[in-house]
Structure 1
Amino acid sequence: MASTTDSAPASCKVMLSKHVANRLVAEVQEGVKTLERPPHLVGFLANDDPAALMYAQWTEKTCHENGFRYSLREVPRDDLEQAILAANVDAEVDGIIVYYPIFNNRQDQYLQQIVDINKDVEGLSHRYIFNMYQNIRFLDPETKKQKCILPCTPLAVIKILEYINIYNTILPYGNRLFGHTICVVNRSEVVGRPLAALLANDGACVYSVDITGVQKFTRGDGLKKGRHEVVDLQGKTLKDVAPLCDVVISGVPGDSYKFDTSLLREGAVCVNFSSERNFGPEVKGKASLFVPSIGKVTIVVLLRNLLRLIQNSRLDDVKPAAATERPGTLEAAS
């Protein structure tokens, strides 16, 4: 188990995301060694959001530390469409990331769809999103050579859950969260809903909580279904479902929201993926393990996705993403 902070009570381990990130970085570096040239990631910044700029700067730093090229292109938002289309056909560009929000409306969804699927490191293209929700894990289901790209933040949460052994590697691939009940506080289309779907597709019973209510994501009793189904739980609130969960994951933006620790089941695992602190210090008195942030893992997952794109496009037997596929992980071969 990763190291803890000295201030935490003996009953709670506080795990920093750097421990997971460091392990993934080592695997990413193995993949880079198989390439003839450094992978080139282009980031598009078309807003004045300080969080987006910070994410871009962290991405640049992580790229340079691990043998990747990174170019940040700051463009007016009205020019972004053409800039993306140009990068799509630029042979020097291996991956594209756009720092959202841009227009903060459906136009952002349009921009997500025009990024070439072969360069979409964020996994936001329709094909990737469709496959994720349908629990289709390959672009080529018959030959199973081209693995789908998954959105970075949900995948980062999953890599953390794998690291702390929430995934049970004794169970068959695809069922390794069976028996776990997980609460995800956030149902955004970018993070919360995809995360709930991924966890349910891997066998968990997931309660997805948002201001609009509670939804239950499962694959049915005994995992009888091949993909998750969603049921609205009319009248249910966070207070009803949180005490049932052995894992609670929260990512509510804004500093006004705090998770009510009294709702936690004794010994629950808590993960915060918001830039704000959704859990107060008192969580350490109730949880068995607490992960206060995931940002470092998200950026390394971005690089792993880029290696996956390169692997998918190659016709030879050298597979740069193979180094990131460890037994028991979400991306390992079934």
Structure 2
Amino acid sequence: MADEKPHCKVILSNKIADTLLSEIHSGLAPLPRKPLLVGFLSSTDPAARVYAEWTSKTATANGFAFQLRTVDREELEDALLTANTDDAVDGIIVYYPIFGNRQDQYLQQIVAVDKDVEGLSHQYIFNMYQNVRFLDPAMTKKSILPCTPLAVIKILEYLRIYNTILPYGNRLHGRTVTVINRSEVVGRPLAALLANDGACVYSVDIEDVQQFTRGEGLRKRRHEVVEKPGWTLENCLPISDVVISGVPGDKYKVPLNLLREGAVCINFSSERNFAPEVKEKASIYVPAIGKVTIVVLLRNLLRIVQNKIDAKAEADKSTPSEAAQTAA
């Protein structure tokens, strides 16, 4: 009898996105108006325009209002400051790269925190790396996370890589993950988020490998990072339950011979980092995550709107008592 070939389950991102959209639709139902997301396009990168078009299509199809504003990059700063103070604008997204240097980082910081659907403001980035998950002491308002790393988290939750029997915040305990890419936009934040949830994460860049964990035994609140001198993919891949790759080059491919049998493989690059033969070794393969990323963006916008509504309700409750005290 011929040997049976292993079966790999290929999961497309639209299937995962649909599960998140049902949650979003429930949140939109009680709102008095459609939340308005404004996108600013100042980039000449074709991928940025494609992303803008995807955002527009997904937003309008799912109960949100969307405006794309094409602005000369030298005028973008003023345009963002104007949108910050416009009460009609609920969320802002900027399609990067624009200048391709530190000026882009500056632009990220001038977007109002309460309109930053991408989670790139200093407060959100600080909270993410420090594993601070809420914006208020009562822990009722969740912090906003960067869209692409959060999309990968949602995919792992959908695939049940997260163990829901374990306490919230420790549901990746015992999992070993390799993330190939350490960009400040996706790779490093993703490694931090996974480690903060309890995983042992090997972050692989061109020059080196770093290990992100919350320590052994009594686990720390936030992750710590240690260098792994001399380590390469040859050390990381054979021991990893999950391999996540986002190398932008079209020639790069994850070495399949190093993959652990039955590994879960996720590609977040615009290029295919895994050869088609990955299906002969992986148990689950997610070839792209773009649709999930856009839905997570809308989810962030909805959370921002709900936070504002809750804050106004709290302010309205406190106003009568303050007035009474003044009168007394």
Fold match (TM-score > 0.5): yes
Question: Aligned residue for 2:31?
Answer: 35
> What is the alpha-carbon distance in structure 1 between the residues aligned to residue 77 and residue 99 of structure 2?
12
Cα shift at 1:313: 1.1
1:164-183 pair list within 5 angstroms:
164-183=159-178
Cα shift at 1:315: 3.0
Question: Aligned residue for 2:46?
Answer: 50
Query: Root-mean-square deviation (CA), in Å?
Result: 1.2
> What is the alpha-carbon distance in structure 2 between the residues aligned to residue 240 and residue 10 of structure 1?
24
Question: Aligned residue for 1:152?
Answer: 147
Is 1:83 paired with 2:79? yes
> What is the alpha-carbon distance in structure 1 between the residues aligned to residue 10 and residue 69 of structure 2?
37
Distance 1:317 1:162, change over 3 A: farther
Question: Aligned residue for 2:97?
Answer: 101
Cα shift at 1:223: 5.2
Q: What secondary structure sits across from 2:115 in the alignment?
A: coil
Which deviates more from structure 2 when the two are superposed, residues 23-32 or residues 36-45? 23-32
Cα shift at 1:224: 1.7
Is 1:196 paired with 2:191? yes
Question: Aligned residue for 1:267?
Answer: 262
Cα shift at 1:273: 0.3
1:57-72 pair list within 5 angstroms:
57-72=53-68
Q: Is the 8 A contact 1:203 1:223 kept in 2?
A: no
Distance 1:188 1:143, change over 3 A: same
Q: Is the 8 A contact 1:215 1:230 kept in 2?
A: yes
1:111-150 pair list within 5 angstroms:
111-140=107-136, 142-150=137-145
Is 1:302 paired with 2:293? no
> What is the alpha-carbon distance in structure 2 between the residues aligned to residue 65 and residue 223 of structure 1?
47
Question: Aligned residue for 1:330?
Answer: none
Q: Which structure carries more relative contact order (alpha carbon 8 Å, separation 6+)?
A: 1
Q: What secondary structure sits across from 2:113 in the alignment?
A: coil
Question: Aligned residue for 2:7?
Answer: 11
Q: Is the 8 A contact 2:178 2:204 kept in 1?
A: yes
Give a deviation string over 1:140-172, Cα, whole Å, max 9, x none: 1x2112210000000000000000100000000
Q: What secondary structure sits across from 2:107 in the alignment?
A: helix
Which residue of the other structure, out of 252, 263, 282, is the alignment partner of 2:277? 282
Q: What secondary structure sits across from 2:56 in the alignment?
A: helix
> What is the alpha-carbon distance in structure 1 between the residues aligned to residue 121 and residue 218 of structure 2?
28
Cα shift at 1:222: 2.9
Residue type at the aligned position of 1:244:
I
> What is the alpha-carbon distance in structure 2 between the residues aligned to residue 221 and residue 89 of structure 1?
47
**Identical columns (%):** 69
Cα shift at 1:139: 1.2
Q: Is the 8 A contact 1:44 1:75 kept in 2?
A: yes
> What is the alpha-carbon distance in structure 1 between the residues aligned to residue 22 and residue 46 of structure 2?
29
> What is the alpha-carbon distance in structure 1 between the residues aligned to residue 156 and residue 56 of structure 2?
26
Residue type at the aligned position of 1:28:
I
Q: Is the 8 A contact 2:214 2:222 kept in 1?
A: yes
Residue type at the aligned position of 1:33:
A
Is 1:249 paired with 2:244? yes
Residue type at the aligned position of 1:225:
K
Residue type at the aligned position of 2:187:
G
1:20-31 pair list within 5 angstroms:
20-31=16-27
Q: Which runs of 5+ in 1 are unaligned?
A: 1-8, 319-334
Q: Which runs of 5+ in 2 are unaligned?
A: 314-328
Consecutive aligned runs of 4 or more in structure 1 exceeding 2 Å deviation: 315-318
Q: Is the 8 A contact 1:42 1:72 kept in 2?
A: yes
> What is the alpha-carbon distance in structure 2 between the residues aligned to residue 124 and residue 230 of structure 1?
21
Question: Aligned residue for 1:3?
Answer: none
Residue type at the aligned position of 1:113:
Q
> What is the alpha-carbon distance in structure 2 between the residues aligned to residue 120 and residue 315 of structure 1?
17
